[in-house]
Homo-oligomer: A and B are copies of this chain.
Amino acid sequence: MKHGVLRLIPGFLLTILCAAGAAVDTGLEAMPVLQWEQKAPGVWSAVIGDAEEVTYLTYAGAPPKVDALAKMGPTAFPLNSEGIRGVVSGKRAIVRVPLGEAEKLYGLGLQFEGMNRRGKVYHLRMDHYSSGNEKLHAPVPFYVSSDGYGVFFNTPHYISVYAGVGNRHDSPAFPAPRDRNNDREWSAQPVSDAVEASVIARGMEVLVFAGPTPLDAVRRYNLYCGGGCLPPKWGFGFWHRMRTHADDAEVLNEIEDFRKRDFPLDVIGLEPGWHSKAYPCTFEWDPVRFPEPAEFVAAARAAGVRLNLWENPYVSPEAGIYEAIKPYCGSHTVWLGIVPDYTLPEAGAILKGQHAEEHLSIGVSGYKIDEVDGYDFWLWPDHALFPSGTDAQQMRQTYGLQLQKLLMEMFRASNQRTYGLIRGSNAGASNYPFAIYTDHYEHKGFVSALVNCSFTGVLYTPEIRSAKSPEEWLRRMQSVCFSPMVQLNGWADNTKPWSFPEVEREVREVIKLRMRMLPYIYTAFARYHFEGIPPIRAMVLEPGYAHEGSVTAGKLDGAGNPYAMATRKDVSDQYMFGDCLLVAPVFRGQKSREVILPRGRWYDFYTGRFAGDGQVIDVDASSSRIPLYVREGGIIPLIPEVNSISRLEAPVPLEVRCYGTEASSTRLYDDDGLTYDFEKGQFCWLDIVVEKDADGRLSGAISEPVGDFEPCYGGVTWRFMSL
């Protein structure tokens, strides 16, 4: 090709360029190869331009889990390091990471659509998600390749990631141009051989995480961010948020209603009405609705229920902390409330002091931090100024991280774990015990977000709020029961779990199943914490899964598809929950659905019957239960039915369900479920082992606990489901 000739004579080129007054050498060779430094086993860093003082990892909840990374074994740098280049040119720091023709890319934030990110451009920014793939509640600039490595752009600015989009004229794998007039192989998007990204900054850090599998890369990312969070046990019970204007009596009545109707309840969430003023907020109890907060919180706790407080971070002039915090606030307000610059420690100290004194001291268990996402038309503008000098966009990308960090510090100081909700989070957050929630309310999108959060080091709850029919209510309730946080948010609609009497029994059943799964779920989170394995996982992170999604060729349509673009459909409507459970949610109106089973034998969770092996099965969706499948050798420990995890008392008997027909084993985790003592070693693991004798009979055994903690469990019933 002609351009190949020119590439061979850079001297000649340079002469022409100089003659033309050219200012910039645009060639690939002018972009230096990055120099890598190993930061931890399987984790490498390179800096383009000037290292930034503050990055996403500045906000990480805990130091890297170096020991756990080392335990994953030695590994070489997973890419051809000669191909990774970066430069600061003009106002931009630019990086280029080569890409193989068959690679698929996953991640790039809490996405609500699709899964394979290759072939699109992502201008990742914190915003109120409504559609598209750029304005996200967690615009995490981390991706995982199907080839088994991860890349993280550790820069807290608005970033543009060209995920296998774009062709440099001098790129090593430049395809031959085609003629759209006559060549049927012409494509509106030629195959690109790189991921390229840039930020407007004087530099950026790039981190690479080794595999060898995509799950390994995700694990290394999570471990490097401090390991996944381990919420308190009560966090895995049922959460219910009150209508915004509820008062103390109404809350206590509601708790009583749950008891009378035999519905589980561990946490009540109070919405804006608990504040004396909200939007902007005082963070102080409303004297009319909650005249005696300490007594109120104690009464709820006595009924086995903890309290979670909603707030947004924008400070009302009526707030007691207003005068003290005002000097540390930005130029612009949000709903006319001032915006603290929490990169200044003084601002954080004021908020933590007030929260500790007025909430934590009387037993409040956590927070729901709202409105740290967007929209543009109510958040501070991109040009707002903050006293620390932090850029307003950077402040927006990280404000949710700042709040999580502050609150975590406060709870940690009193050695209490918390579990809460956050409206916007970002990279480095793996260790923060907060689930993201959204205003967007589309059931299929919710499930895609659950799937995609496994690539991003954040948790997400597809909370249920309302439904157009009993069927939808039940289907949403089932999905949320297989998520990091089971929450019914009745703030606007005043809904209750029994709001649709037609499905009250089925709703109760699935919530109770969720409660029974506590040991299984808690262990999954322990593995998230200690090993970096996400408790919810996309199928592509599962061994034996090989489904490629489908591509439909585009058809020329002058009005509808003038470039005859093909459409790709990823499978993002099923996922793994914990060690061995495959969840296949059903959506309103579905009479049946396809479930893709990875290689290996799979069994129906409810019946233990064989369901398939490495195949696509068609599932009758008319059952009132959510389809659940367990992999061969899967072991699921259950506790008895309870309505409040807070009221569990040792010894807790176990029912251990074993699936398949072969010998297998798993591990069960336990600790006090409340404090950070587990970080000092006060936890234990139990081995659950299923053996098969010569006659094919299975038997089970649980080991003595290994570790410095006496587990709460005692007494076991074995159920060999597939025999």
Contacts and interface: CB of A to CB of B under 8 A. Distances in A.
Given A13-B327, A391-B90, A381 B165 contact: yes
A20 B385 contact: no
Interface stretch (A140-148, A181-189, A699-707): A181-189
A492 B557 contact: yes
Interface in A388-409: 388-389, 391
Interface in A187-226: 188-190, 196-198, 200
Interface stretch (A71-79, A335-343, A596-604): A335-343
A153 to B, nearest CB: 12
A275 interface: yes
A692 interface: no
A94 B383 CA distance: 7
A8 to B, nearest CB: 13
Interface residues of A, number: 105
B381 A186 contact: no
A178 B280 CA distance: 8
Most buried by B among A197, A245, A333, A493: A333
Contacts of A387: 17, 20, 22-24, 26
B376 A121 contact: yes
A664 interface: no
A386 interface: yes
B162 A24 contact: no
A26 B386 contact: yes
Nearest to A161: B381
A191 B202 CA distance: 37
Nearest to A162: B381
B3 A377 contact: no
Interface stretch (A56-64, A169-177, A605-613): A169-177
Contacts of A94: 383
Contacts of A166: 332, 380-381, 384
Nearest to A336: B177
A388 B24 contact: yes
Contact of A326 (B6, B200, B279): B6
A333 B286 CA distance: 61
Interface string A259-280: 0000000000000110101111
A333 B466 CA distance: 49
Nearest to A317: B2
Contacts of A337: 177
Most buried by B among A1, A2, A329, A387: A387
A492 B381 CA distance: 43
B317 A189 contact: no
Contact of A492 (B121, B167, B327, B562): B562
Interface in A261-307: 272-273, 275, 277-280, 286
A22 B331 CA distance: 13
Q: For the complex formed by this chain, how many copies does it contain in all?
A: 2
A554 interface: no
A255 to B, nearest CB: 22
Nearest to A188: B378
Contacts of A6: 323, 326-327
A204 to B, nearest CB: 11
A1 B316 CA distance: 11
A333 B168 contact: yes
Nearest to A374: B121
A89 B385 CA distance: 8
A190 B280 CA distance: 12
A680 B301 CA distance: 89
Chain A interface secondary structure, helix, strand, loop or mixed?
loop
B20 A327 contact: yes
B198 A383 contact: yes
A16 B324 CA distance: 10
Given A327-B20, A492-B558, A245 B181 contact: yes
Nearest to A164: B377
Nearest to A442: B559
Nearest to A15: B327
Contacts of A661: none
Interface in A325-378: 326-333, 335-338, 344, 346, 375-378
A279 B179 contact: yes
B331 A91 contact: no
A36 B49 CA distance: 38
Contacts of A121: 375-377, 381
Contacts of A244: 181
A695 interface: no
A589 interface: no
A278 B186 CA distance: 10
A641 interface: no
Nearest to A323: B2
Contact of A1 (B174, B186, B317, B344): B317
Contacts of A377: 119-121, 162, 165, 189
Contacts of A275: 181
Nearest to A174: B336
B558 A466 contact: yes
A465 interface: yes
A568 B20 CA distance: 52
A37 interface: no
Interface string A88-116: 01111010000000000000000000000
Contacts of A174: 333, 336
Contact of A181 (B90, B272, B322, B329): B272
B20 A169 contact: no
A492 B169 contact: no
26 contacts: A20-B344, A20-B346, A20-B387, A21-B388, A22-B328, A22-B388, A24-B388, A90-B389, A119-B377, A121-B381, A160-B382, A160-B383, A162-B376, A166-B384, A168-B331, A168-B332, A178-B279, A178-B336, A179-B279, A180-B279, A196-B383, A198-B382, A198-B383, A465-B558, A492-B558, A492-B562
